[in-house]
Structure 1
Amino acid sequence: MRIIPIISIIFFVLVTLTGCLGKEEISDLALVTAVGIDKGEQENILITAQIARPAEARGDAGAGGGTGEPMWTAIAEGKTIFEAIRNLARFSSRRVYWGHNMVIVISEEIAEDGIVDVIDFFTRNNELRMRTWILVTEEKARDLIPVKTGIEVLPGESIDHLFRYSPIVAEAPKSDAMSLSMGYLREYTHPYLALVNLKSRGIAEGEDMPEFGNLPQAELSGTALFRDDKMVGKLKDRESRGFLWFIGEVETAIIPIEFPEGDGNASIELRDNSFQLTPKYENGEVSFDITLETVADLVELGVPTGKSYDELFTLLEPILEDYIQEDIEMLLNKLQQEYQLDSIGLATYFRAKFPQYWDDVKDDWDELFPDMAIVVNVSAEITNPQLFRLPTKPVKE
């Protein structure tokens, strides 16, 4: 009598282990690698989807092609994001699939009106990875999406690789669907996204060459700040690098400084960094101390000098300290005086350190933030003269 239940169990296991249930062939899918969101006609949402052609992207001439463009850019409109994406199916010969999407680019117009619909749709999409990059552009997203940057075949992959190497520049945050949703949903935090714009950096053959190139390239260019779901400001260059210290994303950076003796510059690479933020609460006043310590390398010196290494380091260290401190103070001035927005999460630090006093200040935090005393102390040590041995001297007398 026990043989019937055993057979039933074996049958159930065989059915659940089969690899063919619900399968989809890659040839049936339109693989989205990047998507742009703009305003369309009559306040509609305009979606620009970059869809890969796998054979062309591989350069596989024997797989049904390999001679065409590696991507297809499709545009559709709708009253909502969902409707616009659904309307792609009207002319796409394959089912639009989001599992390989690497980048979502939002136009500044959309960001200023509010991105709650973007957050809601893309975080609920079970095909989308929460590590998908999300950016804001001052351009039209539909203009940026098709642009190839560098040597990558697919534009979406180009932007993905920009983020991989962004720590070298340290001027834009790594913003993805996870960090955006956390910044939006958590209490007393505000979202931020990287800014990306088109700049003429590439070189096209057979054309006149302007100063910086003649091909538009996607370029990381700062940070977009949000209050709730609406974009309210931007951080550029050094302000953005100051911001990265607070969100823990400064792994390394190249700091250019003017050499104080002679006409030239020095490049210093930050190598080992420690950033500590300490909340204080005295006599009902909230304040913060910032202690930043860095160990750096001297990687370039454009001025011949007869100074020893120790003399050079002693000369350059205070200049480096002032430069880093100025980055942070420029950021704090922008946040406290211009935007009056705690984008760096000081509320979270204070709440963790003084939970017993949090109820006393939480309702007034936005009013208290612009006047908070924030003391910055930077200590830099240069220990290694990489790429610098002896000054280059002419042979001729």
Structure 2
Amino acid sequence: MKRILFILSFILFLTGCAGKREINDLAIVMAVGIDKADDGQVEITVQVVRPADSRGQTGAPSGQTGDPIWAASSTGQTLFEAIRNLSTFSSRRVFWAHNYAIVISEDYAKEGIQEVVDFFTRNPELRMRTWVMVTPEKASEIVSTLSGIEVIPGEAINKLFRYTGVSVQAPRTQMIDLQAALADKSTEPVVARVQFINKGVSNKKPGQAGSIKQIELAGAGVFKGEKMVSVIEPKEMKGLLPFIEKPETGMMVLVCPDDEKKKISLELVNQRFKVTPNVRENQPVFTVDYSVIGSLVESPCAFTIKNTSQMKDLEKQVEAQLKNHVERVVKIAQSETKSDFLHLGEIFHNQFPVEWRKLEKNWEIVFPDVLVEVKTTAEINDSSLLFKPAKK
């Protein structure tokens, strides 16, 4: 009998489904925007999915709005206070586990993002693989505007970055990368940049091109410490991305050897990028070796890849462009921003740990004068399905 009473009393302490969260009670956040409010406080905007209205239907069923998302903003002295203030008018509890993107306005980023990184890395609901980006627009507009093919804007941003390796217009910055760069003593953060652009044709107003706002990849924001100090334009990303990511693909526009008015399209199907550190006269030196293999995908010129002299001319054009891209980014890092967002200090530290101890404290002073030699090689060995031009 005593045993039965003990078991019954023990069952009372079993919590079962204690702490459960019903999906109908949650406001599932898909994207969040962070701005600086007019009164100097933090303004946070959340993009919450409407499960019943996010199926892409053109007409809203009875009792529903037809909008796939609900966007709401609140302010506070801190991020946490701003988020808690959402509960004053949100009928559901804010849930972060499915958040795709954190969008930070450049005005806010220029004053420092330490608070953002600290809060979102402490939050147990948030994934460290969440995309992070800055924007010259209001972050609230980026996360609350319906744009693109996807029904949910947050999902559109997620897929935009997932396939950004094709466009080579922005880095794939995630919260874990941003946190690691801020924690590193030599490396500075680089954050993806997005903006609005009017593109697309409205289904309701045929012929009115550019009538729909789209979110566009727009280069990167460069930081020094926690503060954003400069912008890398999309055309300069070809020189930056190999330093921070493994290049997947790329393309280049070249000039026809026999007619400068005609342009050739080349796809970079294989890229090898290596930075080798060394020490000369007690000073750090870096050699950048950048080699590519290209495939001819479009050519109005009347030649084949058998024409050795013309192919060498094209390869020299590729080498010159690659070298120019890399040297331009190195100049931005050393002369314009004096920020080691190229990870050169980290590379030197890994190869020469003893020498690095002497440079570590003064790396910010040494870095702008470090010698960086750039060597490029290119080979064009393919012309896709057409070996000869389509026109004689």
- TM-score, normalised on structure 1? 0.90
Tell me the secondary structure at the aligned position of residue 145 of structure 1. helix
Count, aligned residues: 388
Match of 2:372 in 1: 374
Question: For residues 283-332 of structure 1, what are the alpha-carbon distances to aligned partners after superposition, in whole Å with 9 as ceiling and x for unaligned?
Answer: 1121111111222211111x230344453533311111111111101101
Match of 1:258 in 2: 255
Moved more, 93-102 or 245-254: 245-254
Measured in 2, the distance between the counterparts of 1:64 and 1:324 equals: 58
Measured in 1, the distance between the counterparts of 2:160 and 2:307 equals: 37
1:58 Cα deviation after fit = 2.9
Contact 1:38 1:107 in 2 (8 A): yes
Measured in 2, the distance between the counterparts of 1:26 and 1:317 equals: 58
- CA RMSD after TM alignment: 2.6
* One-letter amino acid matched to 2:216: E
Match of 1:135 in 2: 133
1:26 Cα deviation after fit = 0.9
Match of 2:82 in 1: 84
1:251 Cα deviation after fit = 1.0
1:389 Cα deviation after fit = 3.6
Measured in 2, the distance between the counterparts of 1:373 and 1:185 equals: 25
Contact 1:147 1:218 in 2 (8 A): no
1:238 Cα deviation after fit = 3.1
| Structure 1 residue 206 corresponds to structure 2 residue 202 | no
Query: CA, structure 1 residues 65+183, in 2 after alignment: closer, same or farther (shift >3 Å)?
Result: farther
Tell me the secondary structure at the aligned position of residue 39 of structure 2. helix
Measured in 2, the distance between the counterparts of 1:179 and 1:71 equals: 29
1:250 Cα deviation after fit = 1.4
1:41 Cα deviation after fit = 2.8
1:11 Cα deviation after fit = 6.2
1:42 Cα deviation after fit = 1.1
**Counterpart pick for 1:36 among 16, 20, 33:** 33
Match of 2:245 in 1: 248
Measured in 2, the distance between the counterparts of 1:24 and 1:328 equals: 51
Measured in 1, the distance between the counterparts of 2:303 and 2:230 equals: 47
Match of 1:231 in 2: 228
The alignment-based identity, stated in percent, is: 38
Query: CA, structure 1 residues 65+56, in 2 after alignment: closer, same or farther (shift >3 Å)?
Result: farther
Residue pairs, 1:1-397, within 5 angstroms: 15=14, 20-59=17-56, 68-204=66-202, 205-206=204-205, 209=208, 213-262=210-259, 263-301=261-299, 303-311=300-308, 312-393=310-391
1:269 Cα deviation after fit = 1.2
Question: For residues 144-193 of structure 1, what are the alpha-carbon distances to aligned partners after superposition, in whole Å with 9 as ceiling and x for unaligned?
Answer: 11223321001111111110110011121101111011111122121111
1:387 Cα deviation after fit = 4.7
Query: CA, structure 1 residues 308+248, in 2 after alignment: closer, same or farther (shift >3 Å)?
Result: closer
Measured in 2, the distance between the counterparts of 1:244 and 1:195 equals: 13
Structure 1: gaps spanning 5 or more residues: none
Query: CA, structure 1 residues 25+62, in 2 after alignment: closer, same or farther (shift >3 Å)?
Result: farther
1:364 Cα deviation after fit = 2.0
* One-letter amino acid matched to 2:182: Y
Tell me the secondary structure at the aligned position of residue 125 of structure 2. coil
Tell me the secondary structure at the aligned position of residue 110 of structure 2. helix
Measured in 2, the distance between the counterparts of 1:224 and 1:157 equals: 22
Query: CA, structure 1 residues 79+304, in 2 after alignment: closer, same or farther (shift >3 Å)?
Result: same
- TM-score, normalised on structure 2? 0.92
Tell me the secondary structure at the aligned position of residue 288 of structure 1. strand
Measured in 2, the distance between the counterparts of 1:64 and 1:165 equals: 37
Measured in 2, the distance between the counterparts of 1:119 and 1:79 equals: 16
Contact 1:98 1:128 in 2 (8 A): yes
Contact 2:41 2:77 in 1 (8 A): yes
Tell me the secondary structure at the aligned position of residue 118 of structure 1. helix
Contact 1:304 1:392 in 2 (8 A): no
Measured in 2, the distance between the counterparts of 1:255 and 1:121 equals: 41
* Off by >4 Å, runs of 4+ in structure 1: 59-67
Tell me the secondary structure at the aligned position of residue 107 of structure 2. helix
